[in-house]
Structure 1
Amino acid sequence: MDLRLADKVVVITGAAKGMGAAITLAFAAEGARLVLSGRDMAAIEPVAEAARGMGRSVITVACDITDPVQTEALAAAARDAFGRIDVLVNVAGGTGPMGETAWSTSTEAFEEIVRLNVTGCFNTMKAVLPVMVEQCYGKIVNVGGTFGMRGRAGRMAYSASKWGLRGVTKSTALEAGPHNINVNYVAPGMVEGPRFRTKVIPDVMDRHGVSEAEAVARHADEYALRRITQDEDVANACLFFASDVSRQITGADLAVDGGWAHL
């Protein structure tokens, strides 16, 4: 199926690593023009070069999404370079405190992850939406998480931030819909990669006194398909929501988790 993403202008936050890199290269493979942003520009550049090697037009913009001045500058750079903004994919985010109860989580840690995962996405959406409204076209894909759909003990702050992002997504979908703008939410489950291996799995190993292999198996056994989500699975969901194949879908939650959030 032709997703008709060739020459679409796609802004991707958190494009440097893991899911962000996979999403970037998936859009590059579809022929999109790319605006890649993040705080670590050295990490973004190899991804940008890989996309350029596929013949794509790419610009990179340093941006801390928690700073609205920087997100406005990101939108301006995209428009200056390409004349429009067709798609925003919000990948940038963080994990917050792990293994903490609601009563042991510090206010500072709670506010920090909400600021990154909710306010940061609000900032980028606020920056690009006037452009999308003016052109009467746009797609926004917010990458959240299944802990924002079912909750998770020991991950209260992260879960709260992703529930909040769902609310931002759904309300904005209602507001932007009359302007032919779709706003949707992709919710990965546990995704194989550095964050999973260096943060999530060590926490499980410490709490349950199990090996790394046993910790991974514990997670896989929770899912109907008995396997951990891969970066490419999330990228494919983002392509779907960014394309006109999903033209009649907005305000939706799409769990990419092998069967956990809804089962």
Structure 2
Amino acid sequence: MDLLLTNKIVAITGPAKGMGEAITRAFAVEGARLALLARDTLAVSALEMELRDQGVDVVLVACDITNSDQCEQAVAHIREALGDVPDVLINVAGGSGPVGKSGADTTFEEFEEIVRLNMAGCFNTMRAVLPGMMERRSGKIVNVGGTFGMRGKAGRMAYSASKWGLRGITKSMAIEAGPHNININIVAPGMVDGQRFRTKVCLDMAVKLGVSEEEAAQRHAADYALQRISTAQDVADACLFMASERSRQITGTDLPVDGGWAAL
């Protein structure tokens, strides 16, 4: 199926690690023109050069998404470099916040930091691209949320709150942007297989239960309806769909990519 993303300008925050890298590569394969937004551009430069060598039209933009002025400057940079405002914005950048801390033990500073990154960061980038999208009367925004923002999680209150709040931002702005032919949705990954899952999550469970790391991974998978852990490519595929015209009639929704965990 042709997703009709060829030559679309796609801005991606957090483009070079884990899910972000998989999403960036997926859009490159579809022929999109890429604007990679990162606070640490050095960490993205190798990926940028690799994509450029493959013939991808790509620009690397320095941007701290928690700074609203920098987000507006980034969109202006994209317009100058690629000729227009983004057709698509994919908000991947985010953080995990304190892990294993109850709400009562979480400090205000810890809470504020993750809410500022996961909520305000997405708000800033959305606010920066929406005027141009509204003027053009087309656009797609995909926010990468998380299933802890759909069910809650003990020991992850601050992260859960930030992703729950992102849902409210997404749904409210989807209603406002709909009359301008703009779709805004959330892709909500569950646990995603990768370095952190293998070296942190599985290792912690293995030590706690006295099992092997592989058995720990299998126990995690058993919690999901499909009995398997999501991959970064699974998340990238969902973002491609939500960014394409194949999802033209979908807006203000959450799309869990979690093997059925949120449904159980």
**Which interval holds the TM-score relative to the shorter structure?**
over 0.9
Distance 2:208 2:63 in 1: 36
Give 1:134's aligned amino acid: E
- Asked if structure 2 preserves the Cα contact closer than 8 Å seen for 1:144 and 1:162, the reply is yes
Distance 2:106 2:35 in 1: 36
- What residue in structure 1 maps to residue 126 of structure 2? 125
- Asked if structure 2 preserves the Cα contact closer than 8 Å seen for 1:16 and 1:47, the reply is yes
Which is further off, 217-226 or 199-208?
199-208
1:67-95 CA distances to partner (integer Å, 9 max, x unpaired)?
Answer: 11111111111111122210000000000
- What residue in structure 2 maps to residue 261 of structure 1? 262
CA 102–74 in structure 1, closer or farther in 2 if over 3 Å, else same: same
Q: Within the alignment, does 1:62 sit opposite 2:62 as a pair?
A: yes
Distance 1:199 1:148 in 2: 21
- What residue in structure 2 maps to residue 144 of structure 1? 145
Q: Mapping of 1:83-122 within 5 angstroms?
A: 83-84=83-84, 85-122=86-123
Distance 1:208 1:100 in 2: 20
CA 43–136 in structure 1, closer or farther in 2 if over 3 Å, else same: same
CA 203–160 in structure 1, closer or farther in 2 if over 3 Å, else same: farther
Distance 1:196 1:73 in 2: 35
Distance 1:115 1:198 in 2: 27
Runs of 4+ in 1 over 3 A off after TM superposition: 197-211
- What residue in structure 2 maps to residue 38 of structure 1? 38
Q: Post-superposition shift, 1:207?
A: 5.1
SS in 1 for 2:151: coil
RMSD: 1.4
Q: Mapping of 1:1-263 within 5 angstroms?
A: 1-84=1-84, 85-205=86-206, 208=209, 210-263=211-264
Which is further off, 52-61 or 164-173?
52-61
SS in 2 for 1:149: helix
TM-score (norm 1): 0.96
Identity of aligned residues (%): 65
- Asked if structure 2 preserves the Cα contact closer than 8 Å seen for 1:144 and 1:187, the reply is yes
Q: Post-superposition shift, 1:54?
A: 3.0
Q: Post-superposition shift, 1:121?
A: 0.4
Distance 1:195 1:139 in 2: 29
1:177-197 CA distances to partner (integer Å, 9 max, x unpaired)?
Answer: 000000000000101123323
Distance 1:200 1:131 in 2: 41
Distance 2:140 2:250 in 1: 11
1:205-231 CA distances to partner (integer Å, 9 max, x unpaired)?
Answer: 465555433332221111111111111
Q: Post-superposition shift, 1:203?
A: 4.3
- Asked if structure 2 preserves the Cα contact closer than 8 Å seen for 1:25 and 1:47, the reply is no
Distance 1:173 1:231 in 2: 25
Gaps of at least 5 residues in structure 1 are: none
Give 1:135's aligned amino acid: R
Distance 1:250 1:79 in 2: 25
Give 2:62's aligned amino acid: A
CA 114–256 in structure 1, closer or farther in 2 if over 3 Å, else same: same
Give 1:177's aligned amino acid: G
